[in-house]
Amino acid sequence: MNQAAAELGTKAQLSDKARKMLSYRWVCYGILLFTYVFVYFDRVCPAVVAPELMKEFGLTATALGVLSSMYFYPYAAMQIPSGVLSDYLGPRFSVGTFFLIAAIGTIMFGLAKSFGIIIFGRFLMGVGVAVVWIPCMRILANWFRPKEFATLTGTMLTLGNVGAIIASAPLALIVGAMGWRAAFYWVGAGLVIVAILNFILLRNKPQDMGLPTVSEIDGVNYYTSADGSHNATFLQNCGKLFRMKNYWLIAVYAFMIYGTVMGFQGLWFVPYAQDIYGLTKQAAANMLMMWPIGMAIGCFTIGLTSDRVLKSRRKASLYGMIIYIIVWLPVVLATGHIPVGAFYPLLFIMGFFCGSYVPNYAHVSEGQPHSFIATANGMVNIWYFVGGAFFQTIMGRVLDAYGKVGGKFPVEAYQRAFWICIIALVIGAIAMYFTEDSKELQKTKA
């Protein structure tokens, strides 16, 4: 009798802990969602303040491209360290500490009086916010089930795009009211608060709070590896990843798709709309806001479609990329002749389908040992941001090669830059075509 009562008490205690775990994981996920809003803001904000930066610092298109891309190089370089920090020191320390660095860089960006200082500020912004996405992948692996991965990844990118929305029309309004420098001071202060919240609220794994894992709650070991690679060393896991055909094909896809996003949405659309259509900065920013709105919806929808409808990472990414390429056609073939009003739906659709890269994270994670998931995602994340840096710079070089006419770049210059984007996207689609879904995912489809 006493033994039976003790067993019931143990089960009740486990049930209470399970409920607390399943509840608190949303606190951890939620604070990272909020944090990621600022990551996206810092990423795309140069698009709106580009005219002010070019005028105040006397920048060429190439120099502006270098300045904006200075976020992406350190971001890319930090992906492997970010994965290692997340896997071995934990997301709480990683995000909290590095977001303080991002705050310093953002404030320095607003204070800068020379090109060298503003470049360094942009560099620190990239270093600081680089250590958010991969820690979130670690949080997902520690607190959630694998079948929830793509949907939650898409949700995070959806909420992250709120930052891109703020960095479009709202930022233009703020810059008009108080100047671009003051805007960055306030954002930097916000980043300090976000860093503190991460230290207070975030927990690396359920065990830190004496709570069971989802594997223990469900009675399923979600993160085993049939080949025993969960016992492999870091270098052995790296070697296995680099021998995977999927890794390199997804890397090509990531480089191409995100490069075009950052080249067009992240920097050159606002100057294009001002130079070719004679729009004000506010009008161009209002249009640009449709891209992150579309991307926010697309990231969630495509992630959900990958998990529950197609049940295929490959198909979701490939089909979305094909539609994204089709939507690029009027931008390339009718450069300067698209009716102004058509940009609103066009940018929304482009934003929606550029979210086709969302399933890539689950695509790479499947088959990886649990302790290596964040690092593996970091290694594929590198290619997104190298692509972003490359396309912002190369498009600037193309514009400078033509030169300004009457203080504006001609339509031919923009058209040539856009051609580079669509050719790159076709290459990315071909790469995704040759990837394969994991054997485990194929079994769930059968």
For the stretch 185-208, pLDDT in tens is: 988 999 999 999 999 999 999 999
Residue 171 lies inside a defined structural domain of this protein: yes
Average pLDDT (104-118) is 93
Question: With bands split at pLDDT 50, 70 and 90, how would you rate the model's confidence at 106?
Answer: very high
The residue to which tokens 């009675």 are assigned: 219
Q: Region 398-410: what's the mean pLDDT?
A: 91
The arithmetic mean of pLDDT across residues 302-331, rounded, is: 91
Neighbours of 186 (CB within 10 A): 14
pLDDT band at 28 (very low <50, low <70, confident <90, very high): very high
| Average pLDDT of the residues in 249-257 | 95
Asked whether residue 302 is assigned to any structural domain, the reply reads yes
pLDDT at 9 over 50: no
Average pLDDT value for residue range 135-158: 82
pLDDT (mean) for 135-148:
85
pLDDT value of position 396: 92
The range of the structural domain enclosing residue 299 comes to: 22-204+234-436
* Local structure of 98: helix, strand or coil: helix
**pLDDT per residue as tens digits for the range 163-172:** 888 888 888 8
pLDDT at 227 over 60: no
Pair 433, 254: CB distance under 8 Å: no
Domain count, the chain: 1
User: In the prediction, which pLDDT does 325 show?
Assistant: 97
Average pLDDT on 365-374 reads 74
Q: Looking at residue 10, what is its pLDDT? A: 46
In terms of pLDDT, which residue wins out, 30 or 43? 30
Q: Is 383 part of a structural domain of the chain? A: yes
More confident residue, 224 or 323: 323
Q: Is 227 inside any structural domain?
A: no
What's the pLDDT at 226? 44
Mean pLDDT of 57-79: 88
Burial of 315 (0-12, 13-18, 19+ CB in 10 A): middle
Quote the pLDDT of residue 440: 54
List, for residues 406-422, the tens digit of each pLDDT value: 889 999 999 999 999 99
- Six-digit token string for 14: 């486990």
Residue 83, pLDDT above cutoff 60: yes
**Greater model confidence, 199 or 145:** 199
Residue 121 inside a domain? The answer is: yes
Contact in structure between 194 and 35 (CB atoms under 8 Å)? yes
> Which pair of structure tokens corresponds to residue 272?
């294009």
Is residue 320 in a domain? Answer: yes
CA nearest to 318, candidates 157, 426, 201: 426
- Residue 86's pLDDT band (cuts 50, 70, 90): confident
- Separation CA 270–CA 279 (nearest Å): 9
Residue 2 has pLDDT above 70, yes or no: no
Tell me the CA end-to-end span of the chain in Å, nearest whole number.
47
Q: Which residues of 355-380 are buried (b: 16+ CB within 10 A; e: fewer)?
A: bbbbbbbbbbbbbbbbbbbbbbbbbb
Q: What's the pLDDT at 291?
A: 93
CA angle 126–201–83, rounded 5-degree value: 40
What pLDDT score does 406 carry?
A: 87
pLDDT for residue 251: 94
Residue 362 has pLDDT above 60, yes or no: yes
- CATH number of domain containing 139: 1.20.1250.20
Q: Which residues pair with 398 in a beta bridge?
A: none
Percent of the chain's residues with pLDDT above 70: 92
* pLDDT for 12: 52
Token pair belonging to 257: 């798709």
This model's pTM is above 0.85: no
Per-residue pLDDT at 231:
64
What pLDDT is stored for residue 198 in this prediction? 95
Residue 266, pLDDT > 90, answer no
pLDDT bracket for residue 269 (50, 70, 90): very high
Of the given ranges (80-89, 94-103, 210-219, 346-355), which has the lowest mean pLDDT? 80-89
Q: Is residue 195 part of a domain?
A: yes
Evaluate whether 238 touches 368 at the Cβ level (below 8 Å).
Answer: no
Is residue 379 a part of any domain in this protein?
yes
